[in-house]
Amino acid sequence: MATRTRLVAGNWKMHGSRAANDALLGALVSGARELAGIECVVCPPFPYLPQAADRLAGSRVGWGAQNLSEHGSGAYTGEVSAAMLVEFGCRYAIVGHSERRALYGETDTQVAAKFAAARKAGLVPILCVGESLAERESGRTEQVVARQLDAVVDASGADSLARAVLAYEPVWAIGTGRNATPEQAQHVHAYLRARVARSDDGIAAGLRILYGGSVKAANAAAIFAMPDVDGGLIGGASLVAEDFLAICRAAEGKE
Ligand code: PGA
């Protein structure tokens, strides 16, 4: 089986200030010195990316964006292109987060276009998929995540997942304190990996699939112990250095 280096990514959402970020980034830089064998990344809001780039230079903590435009350049007021992110040294971009899909109407097609734009510019997209509570309760979880994944695979091909990360984030678990059980997460992760394997076994085996949704220091180790869970996408707990570092340490638990 391919070795998958675990990844813990912090999604700061619309939180932060120069002063708060400075303290958080500083604590992460020193705490991350102890980490080995995993990758950790933070995704601050756009205006703070240069601050993150500065503060994290030479450290074990990488950084990425929370979103990007599907367009290259042009009359798209308020948008940020992949090339602009790359110019600042950005490596990752979250794509298709459920808040973008639900609050800003991002469609599967648009998410697939953002994914393609990120890859084309050399960014590693972190593609989020996940079902709502109503979808889970009506037994449609697999159908929903398959549709979200297929939109990207159909547009960019399964081999585009070779330089990408997938994140399973059940919408009902985000910011609710109600996380999926490790078994629920494993079930969907294994389903997603098998779906990619239908197109390409090798890419499926190497694909990192993160779990996101109320991951805390207290539940991280049990979730990360699942064989198809390769790390986490962390919202609330990524804003507190000790909590995020504790989650990173939990991710160190297995190779
Ligand atoms: P949460 O958010 O950890 O606060 O539930 C996760 C996410 O939205 O990526």
Q: pLDDT tens across 94-146, in order?
A: 999 999 999 999 999 999 999 999 999 999 999 999 999 999 999 999 999 99
Determine, yes or no, domain membership for 97.
Answer: yes
Q: Is the CB of 7 under 6 A from ligand 1?
A: no
Determine, yes or no, domain membership for 86.
Answer: yes
175 Cα: distance to centroid of ligand 1 (angstroms):
5
Determine, yes or no, domain membership for 25.
Answer: no
Q: Are 33 and 116 in contact (CB under 8 A)?
A: no
Give the residue whose CA is nearest to atom 2 of ligand 1: 235
pTM of the model: 0.97
Q: Which atom of ligand 1 is nearest to the CA of 179?
A: 5
Q: Which atom of ligand 1 is nearest to the CA of 215?
A: 3
Q: Which atom of ligand 1 is nearest to the CA of 238?
A: 3
Determine, yes or no, domain membership for 123.
Answer: yes
Residue 169 catalytic?
yes
Average pLDDT, the chain: 96
Residue 84 has a pLDDT of: 98
Q: Is the CB of 130 under 6 A from ligand 1?
A: no
> Encoding tokens for residue 189?
């992760």
pLDDT in tens, 98-107: 999 999 999 9
Side-chain-side CA neighbours of residue 97 (13 Å): 22
d(CA 195, CA 191): 6
Determine, yes or no, domain membership for 8.
Answer: no
- Burial-class residue 33 by CB neighbours within 10 Å (0-12, 13-18, 19+): exposed
Q: What's the pLDDT band for 255 if we cut at 50, 70, 90?
A: very low
Range of the domain at 213: 46-236
Give the residue whose CA is nearest to atom 1 of ligand 1: 235
Q: What's the pLDDT band for 2 if we cut at 50, 70, 90?
A: low
**How many domains does the chain contain in total?**
1
Q: Is the CB of 175 under 6 A from ligand 1?
A: yes
Determine, yes or no, domain membership for 22.
Answer: no
Residue 179 has a pLDDT of: 86
Closest CA to 9 of 152, 165, 118, 123: 165
Determine, yes or no, domain membership for 24.
Answer: no
Determine, yes or no, domain membership for 245.
Answer: no
Residue 97 catalytic?
yes
CATH number assigned to the domain comprising residue 81:
3.20.20.70
Residue 1 has a pLDDT of: 53
Q: Is the CB of 248 under 6 A from ligand 1?
A: no
d(CA 43, CA 28): 13
pLDDT in tens, 223-232: 999 999 999 9
* Candidates 70, 131, 135, 169; catalytic one: 169
- Give DSSP secondary structure letters for 105-153: ---HHHHHHHHHHHHHTT-EEEEEE---HHHHHTT-HHHHHHHHHHHHH
